């Protein structure tokens, strides 16, 4: 009998996509779980994304993760959407059942699980979020849902920060970008949700001496794993949470949505991905 290939097929869609760590992580989980499944990367141009998602929904693919620049398009083409995806205004997970496209956003639980894995409780004190793009929207939504007592926002465009606050955290305090160091006073958590610090981009510089000694710095960037933002915070004695935690956290519910089981606990996902990031010697 001719093989029909893996019983379950899923993937990740973006442009570019070669840098994505998701295929390596998903492949390790699939193998450890003994699944007859395949997870593939798909590079799709921005203008073709909507048609691609609709076409995939008519195949035997169970779903796809979605990364830049397609998260808004993913939500727009969906027939159904979770409250989180609608609130954030973007989807990073599409599942396909009988031609119906369902959109979700797992960046919110992903961020919270990254914090909890390091013993960080969002309720402990004020949180400062730097940025107002898609990552910031997911993080602010997560903090608001988790009961952060105060959310502070700082972004190069104050109007974008104000729009984010209006949509997701009406009580948030907005600080001008040039005054972001002043927002460190009494803060419990500081999150970089900008692209600053990404490989090839300039670092995000903060005056960490203004932050409490027990404050935590978290970064959504994971290439490089140790950004200047985190390194400077650590040098001032602050605890840090790197970007891999959020990546792993959002991948877990995606795996469950695709394959109906939790990822095997015996896989050390952080070490696996860290090894993928380190250049071969």
Mean pLDDT, residues 161-186 taken together: 97
DSSP H/E element including 151: strand 151-155
Cross-strand partners of 112: none
Residue 122 belongs to some domain of the structure: yes
Q: Let me know whether 152 and 212 are in one domain.
A: yes
Q: Let me know whether 113 and 101 are in one domain.
A: no
- pLDDT, tens digit, for every residue of 67-81? 989 999 999 999 999
What distance in Å separates the CA atoms of residue 278 and residue 106, rounded to the nearest whole number?
26
Mean pLDDT, residues 151-160 taken together: 97
What percentage of the chain reaches a pLDDT higher than 70? 97
Given a contact cutoff of 8 angstroms between Cβ atoms, the answer to whether 244 and 113 are in contact is: no
Residue 1 belongs to some domain of the structure: no
Q: Let me know whether 222 and 185 are in one domain.
A: yes
- pLDDT, tens digit, for every residue of 38-67? 999 999 999 999 999 999 999 999 999 999
Parallel, antiparallel, or unpaired for β 189-192 and 173-176? unpaired
- pLDDT, tens digit, for every residue of 176-230? 999 999 999 999 999 999 999 988 889 999 999 999 999 999 999 998 999 999 9
**259 class by beta-carbon count within 10 Å (0-12 exposed, 13-18 middle, 19+ buried):** buried
- Owning domain of residue 54: 8-105+251-277
pLDDT at 280 over 50: no
Q: Let me know whether 96 and 117 are in one domain.
A: no
Supply the DSSP string of 27-83, one letter for each residue.
HHHHHHHT--EEEEEEE--GGGHHHHHHHHTTTTEEEEEE-TT-HHHHHHH-SEE-H
Residue 17 belongs to some domain of the structure: yes
Of the residues 2, 9, 71, 123, only one is catalytic, namely: 71
| pLDDT of amino acid 198 | 87
Q: Let me know whether 186 and 201 are in one domain.
A: yes
Given a contact cutoff of 8 angstroms between Cβ atoms, the answer to whether 251 and 25 are in contact is: yes
Residue 198 belongs to some domain of the structure: yes
Domain tally for the chain?
Answer: 2
Q: Let me know whether 100 and 131 are in one domain.
A: no
Spatial neighbors of 8 by CB under 8 A, at least 6 apart, are 35, 36, 37, 38, 62, 258, 259
pLDDT at 146 over 90: yes
Q: Let me know whether 13 and 100 are in one domain.
A: yes
Residue 246 belongs to some domain of the structure: no
| pLDDT of amino acid 279 | 62
The predicted model scores a pTM of: 0.91
Q: Let me know whether 165 and 255 are in one domain.
A: no
Residue 3 belongs to some domain of the structure: no
The CATH number for 156's domain is 3.40.50.720
Q: Let me know whether 120 and 197 are in one domain.
A: yes
| pLDDT of amino acid 278 | 78
pLDDT at 3 over 80: no
Q: Let me know whether 256 and 235 are in one domain.
A: no
The CATH number for 25's domain is 3.40.50.10860
Q: Let me know whether 99 and 113 are in one domain.
A: no
- pLDDT, tens digit, for every residue of 107-123? 999 999 999 999 999 99
Spatial neighbors of 92 by CB under 8 A, at least 6 apart, are 65, 66, 67, 71, 74, 104, 105, 106, 107, 250, 254
| pLDDT of amino acid 281 | 37
Q: Let me know whether 122 and 82 are in one domain.
A: no
Mean pLDDT for the chain overall: 94
Residue 2 belongs to some domain of the structure: no
- pLDDT, tens digit, for every residue of 242-267? 999 999 999 999 999 999 999 999 99
Residue 255 belongs to some domain of the structure: yes
| pLDDT of amino acid 2 | 42
Residue 123 annotated among the catalytic residues of the structure: no
What percentage of the chain reaches a pLDDT higher than 90? 92
């Amino acid at each position: 009998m001719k093989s029909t290939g893996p019983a379950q097929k899923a993937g990740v869609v973006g442009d570019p996509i070669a840098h994505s760590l998701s295929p390596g992580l998903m492949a390790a989980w699939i193998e450890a779980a003994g699944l007859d499944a395949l997870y593939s990367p798909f590079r799709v141009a921005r203008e073709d994304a909507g048609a691609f998602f609709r076409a995939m929904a008519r195949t035997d693919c169970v779903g796809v993760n979605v990364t830049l620049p397609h998260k808004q398009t993913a939500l727009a083409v969906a027939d159904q959407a979770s409250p989180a995806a609608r609130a954030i205004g973007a989807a990073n997970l599409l599942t396909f059942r009988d031609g119906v496209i369902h959109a979700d956003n797992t960046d919110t639980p992903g961020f919270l699980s990254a914090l909890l894995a390091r013993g960080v409780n969002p309720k402990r004190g004020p949180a400062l979020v730097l940025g107002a793009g898609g990552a910031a929207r997911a993080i602010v939504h997560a903090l608001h849902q988790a009961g952060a007592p105060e959310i502070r926002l700082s972004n190069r465009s104050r109007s974008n920060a104000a729009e984010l606050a209006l949509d997701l955290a009406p009580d948030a305090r907005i600080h001008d970008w040039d005054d972001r160091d002043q927002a460190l006073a009494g803060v419990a958590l500081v999150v970089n949700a900008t692209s600053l610090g990404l490989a090839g981009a300039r670092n995000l510089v903060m005056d960490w001496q203004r932050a409490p000694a027990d404050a935590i710095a978290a970064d959504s960037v994971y290439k490089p794993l140790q950004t200047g933002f985190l390194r400077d915070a650590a040098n001032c004695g602050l605890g840090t949470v790197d970007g891999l935690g959020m990546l792993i956290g959002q991948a877990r519910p995606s795996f469950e949505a695709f394959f109906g089981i939790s990822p095997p606990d015996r896989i050390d996902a952080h070490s696996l991905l860290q090894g993928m990031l380190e250049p071969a010697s």
